[in-house]
Amino acid sequence: MKHAPAIGDYITTGEVAALSTKSDARAAATLLFQAGLAVAAFAVAIIWPNPLTILGAIVILGGRIQAFGIITHDCAHGAFFRTPRLNTFVGKWVSGAAAHVPLDLYRRYHLNHHKYAGTPDDPDKWMVKAYPVTRESLKRKLIRDVTGQTGFRDLLGEIKRFKWAETGPSVLFHALLFAALLAVGAPWAYALWWAARIFVYPLTMRLRQISEHGVAKDRDAIDARINTGTTIPRWWEALLLSPCNVNYHLEHHIFAGVPPYRLARVHRILKERGYYRGHDCIAYGYGDVLRRATRAA
């Protein structure tokens, strides 16, 4: 009997080993680029304060909070820096602090998502179990996100669950951020970060969750091509919605040890060799994601 092709039929162990090589330099460049975008967003709004620059800064910062959360995710996998201590330090005190993601708590939770993906024990399944939804239902969800209802709800939840051991790094981050803005004479700009956190970040997170598993053909299947999706974004979508190559989620589920800056290469190899052929697991842009996430009433 002919066996179903395994991932090893499309990519060699030697190639996977090479692609799994981490680089402190590339990880640092990724982190500094995202931090630089955040600084630039603040700088433009502070130097030329007007409704357009302020709104732009809020949108850019929302994408950066998403980016810092993704970096924390990669640090939790030990798949960002080559040096383990850098993964721990950055994931806890830098990116995790900025994104309000406690590294140790997140790692324990998230690794179970990978372990149990495609089974009833997947701890992330509840986030997308209702998809596809009707257009009206999706519209209501998106409106709750952009009007701050989701953000305020989540913030209140964080406050209720506050533990210094977990949230202390985020408190320090906010103290340093406010001090820096106060030092440049623009303490008012601190509100931009919270506006991004409450009104923009929830939308980016929802779209990310939908694209990763919400549009999957069968979340109870073991095959990653069936229970997970990848999205090929436009450049501005990559900047605002899926930074740090988080859009290659299918590839990440297959090879969780591959750093994010090599996932695009994994995708190209697998696509060229026909791994995705016969599987509708790749969306092209987040408009395509939203179309896949809706159904007739």
The CA-based dihedral angle spanning residues 271, 73, 107, 77, taken in that order and rounded to the nearest 10 degrees: 50
Q: What is the pLDDT of residue 27?
A: 98
Classify residue 115 by burial, with Cβ atoms within 10 Å: 0-12, 13-18, 19+: exposed
Q: What is the pLDDT of residue 1?
A: 38
Task: List, in order, residues 6 or more apart from 175 with CB less than 8 Å away.
Answer: none
Continuous segment of H or E residues that includes residue 241: none
Classify residue 213 by burial, with Cβ atoms within 10 Å: 0-12, 13-18, 19+: buried
Query: Helix 51-76 crosses helix 190-199 at what angle (to 10 degrees)?
Result: 70
Q: What is the pLDDT of residue 116?
A: 87
Q: What is the pLDDT of residue 269?
A: 98
Q: Report the distance separating Cα 192 and Cα 188, nearest Å.
A: 8
Supply angle C-alpha 182, 188, 190, rounded to 5: 75
Q: Report the distance separating Cα 282 and Cα 276, nearest Å.
A: 8
Q: What is the pLDDT of residue 120?
A: 85
Q: Report the distance separating Cα 25 and Cα 6, nearest Å.
A: 33
Phi, psi of 136 (to 5 degrees): -65, -40
Q: What is the mean pLDDT of each run of 10 residues along the chain (297 residues)?
A: 72 97 98 98 98 98 98 97 98 98 92 87 87 96 98 95 93 98 98 98 97 93 94 96 97 97 98 96 97 86
Q: Which two tokens stand for residue 98?
A: 């900025």
Place of tokens 């939790």: 76
Cβ atoms within 10 A of the Cβ of 139, count?
12
Q: What is the pLDDT of residue 161?
A: 92
Q: Where are the beta strands (DSSP E) in 212-289?
A: 230-232, 282-284
Q: Report the distance separating Cα 35 and Cα 149, nearest Å.
A: 27
Q: What is the pLDDT of residue 109?
A: 86
Q: What is the pLDDT of residue 295?
A: 86
